[in-house]
Amino acid sequence: MVIYLKILGLVGSYRKLGNTEVLIREALMSAAEMGAEVEMLRLTDLNIKPCKGCMACVFKKADCKIEDDANFLFSKLFEADGIILGSPIYIFGPAGIIKMIQDRFLQNLGEKAPDFSRGDESPESLFESMVYK
């Protein structure tokens, strides 16, 4: 049986066809040559708003109230077998859009989390190790 992996390339730069996008495209082309199904998303084309830190997703297990494209992006992340994330370095770190998405990912670390934990690490222990230590 042949299994086609879905590889998602994420571009974290506002510069269309800039260095980041060129590199992501190259990586996706190689994956496609090896038989993968590939898709590219420019994170900066999406409407992503910052986390407001209400913690309702953590303590009330509530759906995030922010209306934007975050859920669309997360559904793409969860259906992919592999993700290639590219970001320019902005002042010794990744571009701001990456951090904004990282913060919004908090809503996926509670009970509703798909099984993306490593090994026997539960999403809860992963969350605790990220937040409470």
Residue 66's alpha-carbon distances to 52, 53, 127, in angstroms, are 9, 11, 21
Choices 25-33, 72-80, 83-91, 106-114; region in contact with ligand FMN by CB under 6 A: 83-91
Residue 61 and residue 111 in contact, taking contact as beta carbons nearer than 8 Å? yes
Residue 32 and residue 38 in contact, taking contact as beta carbons nearer than 8 Å? yes
Interacting residues with ligand FMN between 47 and 76 (CB under 6 A)? none
18 binds ligand FMN (CB under 6 A): yes
Residue 72 and residue 20 in contact, taking contact as beta carbons nearer than 8 Å? no
Choices 10-18, 34-42, 57-65, 116-124; region in contact with ligand FMN by CB under 6 A: 10-18
φ, ψ at 14 (rounded to 5°): -75, -15
Interface with ligand FMN (CB under 6 A), residue from 74, 90, 105, 127: 90
Distance CA 127, CA 124 (A): 5
88 binds ligand FMN (CB under 6 A): yes
Q: How many residues contact ligand FMN, by CB under 6 A?
A: 10
**C-beta nearest to ligand FMN: residue:** 18
Binding site for ligand FMN (CB under 6 A): 13, 15, 18-20, 88-92
